[in-house]
Amino acid sequence: MILCKLFGYFYKIYIEINKRKIIDFLPTIDLKTNDERLSRNEDKIDCSICLTDIDVGKQLHCGHIFHESCLEEYLLENMNLKCPVCGFIIQ
């Protein structure tokens, strides 16, 4: 019984470490300098998690962009590795 609880604890730590590694490997997007839409005075991009403007964020393979801290918190609180907007599996 104790062994099962210990295994569950270490498995959660293992998952958290892997999620942090995934976030580190995602491309960082600087929207202040790289986004053509901003240079044409279109609307700024908002983080779908905290609903505030993004200047620098992490882009998932599906194209959605989030603040790094918001994405990290979301992934650590949820046991799945899916985009919070479209459900695309984060690899």
Residue 36, pLDDT score:
52
Instruction: Characterize the bridge pairing of strands 28-30 and 65-66.
Output: unpaired
Contact residues for 89 (Cβ-Cβ < 8 A; gap 6+)? 81, 82
pLDDT in tens, 20-31: 788 888 889 888
| Residue (of 36, 23, 34) closest to 67 by Cα position | 23
Q: Encoding tokens for residue 69?
A: 């801290």
pTM: 0.71
pLDDT in tens, the chain (91 residues): 776 777 677 667 777 777 778 888 888 988 877 555 445 445 678 999 999 999 999 999 999 999 999 998 898 888 778 899 999 988 7
Cβ contact 45:32 at 8 Å? no
